[in-house]
Homo-oligomer: A and B are copies of this chain.
Amino acid sequence: MKKLTDLQALISEAIDKLTFPEQPAELYEPIGYILALGGKRLRPALLLMACDLFGGDVENAIEPAMAIEVFHNFTLMHDDIMDKAPLRRGRVTVHEKWNANVAILSGDAMMVESNKLMMQVDDAILRRVMDVFNETATGVCEGQQIDMSFEQRDDVNIDEYLNMIRLKTAVLLGGTLKIGAIIGGALLTDAQLLYDFGVNLGIAFQLQDDILDVYGDPDKFGKQVGGDIISNKKTYLLIKALEQAKDAQAIELNSWLTLQQFDARDKVTAVTDIYNQLHIRQSAEDAMQTYADKAFGALDNINLPEERRQYLRQFADSLLVREY
C-alpha cells in the first residue's frame, strides 16, 4: 500500500501541471487561481488510495482524481458566491477578485472540465464511473440547497441535519472512494461497501467538526473557537440544544440567537454553558460514534486482506482523532 502522504504529493504535482487554454482569460484564469490555492488534496488522494487498495495502478486514476478536485473546487467557487464569502483558504475569493459573473461562468466551465477528466477511464468502466460521479454531483447540489434553506428556517430537526451533511459533504467522500475502487478493479459489492464506509465516515467527520468548533483546542483546531455559535450556524449541537432546552434555558438560548448586538466571547461562553448543562457534547459524540461504527462495519465486510482493512481503519482513526 502506498502512503496517503505520497499519494497527496503525487496528485498535487499532477494538479500543478494541469493546464487550461489561455483564452478567454477570464474564463480560465480563475480556474487556475482556485486550484492553486492548494488545500490538502485529500479527496483526490483518497481516490488514488481506493484504487491502490484493490491492486489497481494509481497512474490510471490520476485524471479521475483530478476530476474530483476540479469538481470540488467548482462547488467551492459557486458556494462562495452564494455565501458572499470574502476569503477562501486565506485568499480573496474568485467573485471578489473578479466578479460574480466570472465566478458563475468559470465554475460552469470547471464542471465541464471535471467531466472531461472523469471520462479518462477504460471503456469497460466508463458508464459505471460516470453514473457514480453524476449521482454524487446531484447529491452535492441537493445538500447545498438544503443547507441554504436551513438559514431561513427555525424548525430544522436532527434527521434533516444529518441528511444535509450526508448530501453536502459525505456523498462526495463516498463517491470518490467508490470511483477509485471501480478503477482499481473492485467488485461492485466491495465498491459499494467502500462507498458506505466513506459516507458514514464523512458524516462522523462533519459531526466532529461541529464539536471541535465549540470544544476544540484553538491552537490545534485552526479556526476561531465558537465561530458557529457567533453566527447562529445550525449545527448538530445547536439543533439538539434547541430540541432539549426547556423553560429558562430555552428562553436564554433563543435570546442569544435573536440578539443583534453582543460581545462575541459572552455569547460563546453563555451558549457553551447551556450546551454543557444539556450534555450536548456527549450527545454529539454519541452520534459521531454511531456513524464511525457504521463506517467500520462496512469496512469489516469488504473482501480485502486484513492488513488492507487495517490500513483503512488507521486512516479513519487519523481523521476522527483530531485533538480536542
Q: Are B149 and A134 in contact (CB under 8 A)?
A: no
Please encode chain A, from 22 to 33, with 1 for each CB lying within 8 Å of some chain B CB and 0 for all others: 001011000000
Q: Are B127 and A105 in contact (CB under 8 A)?
A: no
Q: Are B27 and A145 in contact (CB under 8 A)?
A: yes
- On chain B, the residues within 8 Å of A35 by CB distance are none
- On chain B, the residues within 8 Å of A24 by CB distance are 142, 145-146, 149
Please encode chain A, from 104 to 141, with 1 for each CB lying within 8 Å of some chain B CB and 0 for all others: 11011101110110010001001100110010011001
A22 to B105, CA, bound (A): 27
Q: Counting CB contacts under 8 A, is A72 at the interface?
A: no
Q: Are A82 and B104 in contact (CB under 8 A)?
A: yes
Q: Are A141 and B82 in contact (CB under 8 A)?
A: no
Q: Are A134 and B105 in contact (CB under 8 A)?
A: no
* CB < 8 Å neighbour of A105 from B26, B126, B145: B145
Q: Counting CB contacts under 8 A, is A148 at the interface?
A: yes
- On chain B, the residues within 8 Å of A244 by CB distance are none
Contacts A101-B148, A104-B104, A112-B134 known; list 20 others, CB within 8 Å: A26-B148, A26-B149, A27-B145, A78-B105, A81-B101, A81-B104, A82-B104, A82-B105, A102-B145, A107-B108, A108-B108, A108-B141, A109-B138, A109-B141, A109-B142, A109-B145, A112-B138, A113-B138, A123-B127, A126-B127
A27 to B141, CA, bound (A): 8
Closest-CB distance, A112 to chain B (whole angstroms): 4
Q: Counting CB contacts under 8 A, is A289 at the interface?
A: no
Closest-CB distance, A85 to chain B (whole angstroms): 13
- On chain B, the residues within 8 Å of A82 by CB distance are 101, 104-105
A113 to B127, CA, bound (A): 15
Q: Are A104 and B78 in contact (CB under 8 A)?
A: yes
- On chain B, the residues within 8 Å of A249 by CB distance are none
Q: Counting CB contacts under 8 A, is A60 at the interface?
A: no
Q: Counting CB contacts under 8 A, is A303 at the interface?
A: no
A224 to B123, CA, bound (A): 51
Q: Are A127 and B137 in contact (CB under 8 A)?
A: no
Closest-CB distance, A118 to chain B (whole angstroms): 10
Interface size in chain A (residues, C-beta < 8 A): 35
- On chain B, the residues within 8 Å of A81 by CB distance are 101, 104
Q: Which of A17-63 contact B (CB under 8 A)?
A: 24, 26-27
Q: Are B108 and A142 in contact (CB under 8 A)?
A: no
Which residue of chain B has its CB nearest to the CB of A148?
Answer: B101
A-B contact pairs, 18 of them (CB 8 A): A24-B146, A26-B145, A27-B142, A27-B145, A78-B105, A81-B104, A82-B104, A105-B144, A105-B145, A107-B108, A108-B111, A108-B141, A109-B141, A113-B138, A115-B130, A115-B137, A119-B130, A123-B127
- On chain B, the residues within 8 Å of A127 by CB distance are 119, 123, 126
Q: Are A119 and B131 in contact (CB under 8 A)?
A: yes
Which residue of chain B has its CB nearest to the CB of A27?
Answer: B145
Known contacts being A142-B24, A145-B27, A146-B24, is A134 close to B109, with CB within 8 Å? Answer: no
- On chain B, the residues within 8 Å of A141 by CB distance are 27, 105, 108-109, 112
